Amino acid sequence: MLAYLARRFVFGAVVLIGTSLITFAVAFLVPADPAVTLAGAKADPRTLATIRRELGLDKPIYIQYGLYLDRALHGDLGRSYIRRENVTALIEERLPATAVLAITAIILSLILGIAMGVIAAASRGRALDHALLFTSLALVSMPVFWLGTMLLIAGGLYVRSFPLGGFSGPRSLVLPALTLALGSAGYYSRILHTNLTEALEQDYVRTARGKGVSRSGVMLHHAMANALLPLVTLAGLDLAGMLSGVVLTETVFNWPGIGRLAYEAVFNLDVPLIMGTVLFSALLIVVANLVVDVIYVWLDPRISLAETR
Amino acid sequence: MKLATLRLLLCAGAIALAAACHDRPPPLNLPPGAMILHIADADDIPTLDPAAGYDTVSWTFEQAIFDTLLRYGDNNIDLEPDLATSWEAAPDAKTFTFHLRHDARFSNGRSVTSDDLRFGLERVLNPATNSRGMEYYRRIVGAEDFIAHRTSHVAGIETPEPWTIIFHLAEPDPIFPHKLAMPFASAVPREQVEKWGEDFSRHPIGSGAFVLKQWLGGERLVLLRNPYYFQKGLPHLDAIVDSLGASAELQWFRYEAGDLDVVTEIPPAEFPYVMKTPALRDLTLKKTTVTTRYLGMNCQMWPFTDVRVRQAMSYAIDRHKLIALLNGRGIVARGVLPPNLPGYDSAITGYDHDPKKARALLEQAGLAGGFSFDLWMRADQTLLMLGQSVQQDLAEVGIKARLKPVAWGPFLEAIRDPHTAQAFMTGWEADFPDPENFLDALLSRGEWGSNNDSFYYNPEFQRLIDDAKDETDRRARYALYDRAEKIAVDDAPWVFLYYPVTYVIRQPWLRDYEINPMRPSRFERVWVAAH
């Protein structure tokens, strides 16, 4: 187990260095001059030259990359060109809002997805199954910005039960979390439906039925234990994705998270902030992969980490 | 067992979430009945450091927190004293002396002195600050030596005593006082900058009407009234709460719900509805900005080297159609200078939409069969919409324009290169109200590769603007600029498109909110009636 973790740790480090290299290269390939970003459209060439010198942009690219990597390894992701603030501090400031939204959305999507999947599998072939199939496909297909805006108009403007955007207490969490969760819930329910349908035809399920276990007991204690496993992988990676920022949902709901920070960084061509948010996302994905693998083994001892070599 | 553990973890997560949501955002603890202005912005505030900010949002709050020697009126572009009580300009426009008020204090209680103004400007000129304002103060004697780190102070800024500051310029600059009304030239307390270093933006201390209480990135900004503000009885507001990152649509929803007191960006989809609804229309305020939008043509690149082709372009484009596309939020441009700018000449009529004349001019230029070119622009929805209209108009006279929308950085690089962009659509917003800020900044030979992106040059035009730049008599100066503008209009390096008109909508209970044509609105005199 320890050897496996060490190996994955090294792989993770390679992925992160690769990501930083690609992001740094892309930042240089984009024909945007950081000095223009800093000085604004009206700056004269003398001011631009002074800024380039001050930022070290006149040094060779490999030296600039080396300096960046060295600082990043010490937790310093540089200073934002536009905000003139420490990128690490900006990410730290936005992380709690994104974390609250992402974790709530994942919990909600798992609850809804599992409920829909179980009910659909239990009523296989019946009208309810078809209705849930239609519902889950509709949820997966709905664009997030449209669904978010509709929920905002309905729940915030007309019913006035929820705040019109912003992060201001538990009620403000409902609409954005629902917007994020509904799509994932639709997807989870389809996966679970397929897995449960397969599991219900397995020998061990038949044996359980033969032993007189009730229908719900078979579903929840025997079939579910195996059918749920793939959802762990999906939800783990979804959570990592959401933690690295959900741009559209955060934008629609004025949610002060990392997604909007990244969006604003791209919009302003704020290279240090773009690199910081990308590296942070990559780190989350690497860590999430590792955690999911470990949870998988814990949930199903038949799987050995050694085999995944 | 494991499923039970997972369930337990889920419950623990839910409890942790509820705890995380509690007290979000932290309470302001304002007294009951406090007068609060609720506003919103689409993006977070880039900075509150006056040396760094160079955008409308930053300046909105910088001018609330900091003071400059001079400022503009709430709804006009006339200079009025702020920290200064009076000032004198030498006849040669090279020396400016300002006398400061004695009762101005920073929000930490310390008196504002001439040293604080000097320190603020030296920060802007210090290359380590990377200030966007550096170029406005390069004419001060000794500025270049200071920038090159050869001196520790700018020799041309004198502070003989705490309430006097004298500026010596290397060249005449009659409009230098306007440059001192830009937020870059704010009084800044040295001890706070030294305490917070690069994080001064998060801990700004100024002498303005308001003081920063809270800035939650991407969430909200709260300003409270500065108890030390020198204007007795002002500000009226106890607090300003700015919701950050709310899209135009979300701001509109909040306005409709009564949560916002004023919205400065009415969504394009709602604008016709607002103007058709008398109750809403009556709540709108409008102002023509000191801005000109234009289609620039590179006078050094074929076929725009020929003045007849440039004039044909001007006749071919229907500006009224562009205004209609903007829902009427603009005025057809007739020349370089916008109507609110001192020195504007309403007798300049420019070019009317006349495709016949355009075809005739193209024929004279030997281009009866038309030609094609790339029209560069920033990748922006509104600009693209206008670009398509221009494209259609030009096609009617046989000119094929290929739209080339790109990001802001590449756009600037392309149009500043003499051999890349044949034509482009852009605009210019005045930094200070003087024809120099348009005619010299955008069309002089010295600005090639910088802001004269049409690479225009006419020796007579250049002579006039050079003479005007040093002319200290206002009337004579404007007369010289007027003659220069007429030459530029005849030479048509740009198709003058339109002067934008800005609209805001307020709630009926919001009072004394004004739009300034060149700067963000100020909050000192704004108040909120009971509702």
Token pair of B432, please?
Answer: 């200070």
Chain A neighbors of B17, CB-CB under 8 A: 100, 103-104, 107, 170, 173
What chain A residue is nearest to B22 in terms of C-alpha separation? A169
Q: How many CA atoms lie within 13 A of A188 on its CB side?
A: 30
Chain B neighbors of A224, CB-CB under 8 A: 3
**At residue A98, what is the residue type?**
T
Find out whether B449 and A48 touch, Cβ atoms under 8 Å. no
Give tens-digit pLDDT for B471-484: 989 999 999 999 99
A51 touches chain B (CB under 8 A): yes
What chain B residue is nearest to A269 in terms of C-alpha separation? B409
Distance of CA B418 to the CA centre of its chain: 26
Token pair of B78, please?
Answer: 């006339």
> What Å distances lie between residue B425 and B153, B247, B324, B406, CA to CA?
42, 26, 18, 12
Q: B489, B494, B491: which is closest to B452 by C-alpha?
A: B494
Binary contact (A85, B199; C-beta < 8 A): yes
What chain B residue is nearest to A226 in terms of C-alpha separation? B3
**At residue A26, what is the residue type?**
V
Binary contact (B408, A41; C-beta < 8 A): yes
A161 touches chain B (CB under 8 A): no
CB-nearest partner of B54 from A36, A40, A268:
A40
Between CA A140 and CA B479 the distance in angstroms is: 67
The tokens 């397969």 sit on which residue? A198
Q: Residue B20: what pLDDT?
A: 61
Torsion over CA: B394, B400, B405, B411 (sign):
negative
Token pair of A120, please?
Answer: 């659909």
Per DSSP (E only), the strands in B298-422 are: 330-332, 371-378, 399-406
| 3-state class (DSSP) for residue B292 | strand
Q: Residue B18: what pLDDT?
A: 59
CB-nearest partner of B409 from A32, A54, A86:
A32
Q: Residue B370: what pLDDT?
A: 94
For chain A positions 135-154, those within 8 Å of chain B (CB to CB) are 149, 152-153
B448 secondary structure, DSSP code: B
Binary contact (B408, A299; C-beta < 8 A): no
CB-nearest partner of A44 from B44, B135, B202:
B135
Binary contact (A36, B49; C-beta < 8 A): no
Binary contact (A45, B450; C-beta < 8 A): yes
Q: Residue B393: what pLDDT?
A: 97
Q: What does the buried/exposed string (b/e) look like for B340-349 if buried means 16 or more CB atoms within 10 Å of the residue's CB?
A: bbebbbeebe
Listed as ranges, residues in chain A with pLDDT below 50 are 307-309
A-B CB pairs within 8 A amount to 166
A50 touches chain B (CB under 8 A): yes
DSSP element (H, E) containing B243: strand B239-244
B258 secondary structure, DSSP code: T
Token pair of B80, please?
Answer: 């009025």
Binary contact (A47, B134; C-beta < 8 A): yes
Q: Residue A309: what pLDDT?
A: 42
Rounded to the nearest angstrom, the minimum Cα separation between B46 and chain A is 5
Q: Residue B30: what pLDDT?
A: 84
Q: DSSP states of B375-403 as a string?
A: EEEES-HHHHHHHHHHHHHHHHTTEEEEE
Find out whether B376 and B421 touch, Cβ atoms under 8 Å. yes
**At residue A284, what is the residue type?**
L
Chain B neighbors of A30, CB-CB under 8 A: 407, 409
CB-nearest partner of A299 from B2, B10, B256:
B2
Strands B423-429 and B371-378: parallel
Q: Where are the alpha helices (DSSP H) in A123-202?
A: 127-141, 144-151, 170-199
Residues contacting B475, CB < 8 A, separation 6+ = none
Chain B neighbors of A149, CB-CB under 8 A: 249
The tokens 């909040």 sit on which residue? B254
Q: B497, B487, B526, B523: which is closest to B509 by C-alpha?
A: B526
Binary contact (B128, A54; C-beta < 8 A): yes
| 3-state class (DSSP) for residue B81 | strand
CB-nearest partner of A31 from B2, B220, B413:
B413
Return phi, psi of residue B405, to 5°: -80, 130
**Angle value at C-alpha A271, between B416 and B379, nearest 5 degrees:** 50
CB-nearest partner of A260 from B18, B22, B218:
B218
What chain A residue is nearest to B243 in terms of C-alpha separation? A166
What chain A residue is nearest to B130 in terms of C-alpha separation? A51
Chain B neighbors of A257, CB-CB under 8 A: 218
Q: Residue A229: what pLDDT?
A: 81
Token pair of B72, please?
Answer: 């503009």
Between CA B206 and CA B186 the distance in angstroms is: 8
Give tens-digit pLDDT for B101-144: 999 999 999 999 999 999 999 999 998 888 878 888 999 999 99
Q: What is the 3-state secondary structure (H, E, C) of B177-233?
A: HHHCCCHHHCCCCHHHHHHHHHHHHHCCCCCCCEEEEEEECCCEEEEEECCCCCCCC
What chain B residue is nearest to A80 in terms of C-alpha separation? B46
Rounded to the nearest angstrom, the minimum Cα separation between B148 and chain A is 9
Rounded to the nearest angstrom, the minimum Cα separation between A14 and chain B is 32
Binary contact (B147, A50; C-beta < 8 A): yes
For chain A positions 257-276, those within 8 Å of chain B (CB to CB) are 257, 260-261, 264, 268-269
ipTM > 0.85 (yes/no): no
Torsion over CA: A22, A28, A34, A37 (sign):
negative
| 3-state class (DSSP) for residue B311 | helix
Find out whether B294 and B277 touch, Cβ atoms under 8 Å. no
Chain A neighbors of B128, CB-CB under 8 A: 54
Most B CBs within 10 Å: which of A52, A254, A273, as the mutation test of the B interface?
A254
> Count of CB atoms within 10 A of residue B490's CB?
12
CB-nearest partner of A157 from B54, B55, B253:
B253
What chain B residue is nearest to A169 in terms of C-alpha separation? B21
Chain B neighbors of A32, CB-CB under 8 A: 407-410
Q: How many CA atoms lie within 13 A of B67 on its CB side?
A: 33
Chain A neighbors of B201, CB-CB under 8 A: 83-85
Listed as ranges, residues in chain B with pLDDT below 50 are 1
**Distance between terminal CA atoms of chain A?**
11
CB-nearest partner of A83 from B17, B46, B216:
B46
Chain B neighbors of A33, CB-CB under 8 A: 409, 412-413
Binary contact (A41, B412; C-beta < 8 A): yes
CB-nearest partner of A164 from B43, B254, B412:
B254
Token pair of A91, please?
Answer: 């990410």
Find out whether B241 and B37 touch, Cβ atoms under 8 Å. yes
| 3-state class (DSSP) for residue B237 | coil
Most A CBs within 10 Å: which of B2, B8, B17, as the mutation test of the A interface?
B17
Q: Residue B409: what pLDDT?
A: 67
Binary contact (A260, B46; C-beta < 8 A): no
Q: A220, A142, A152: which is closest to A181 by C-alpha?
A: A142
Binary contact (B17, A104; C-beta < 8 A): yes
Most B CBs within 10 Å: which of A30, A46, A47, A55, as the mutation test of the B interface?
A47
Q: Residue B1: what pLDDT?
A: 45
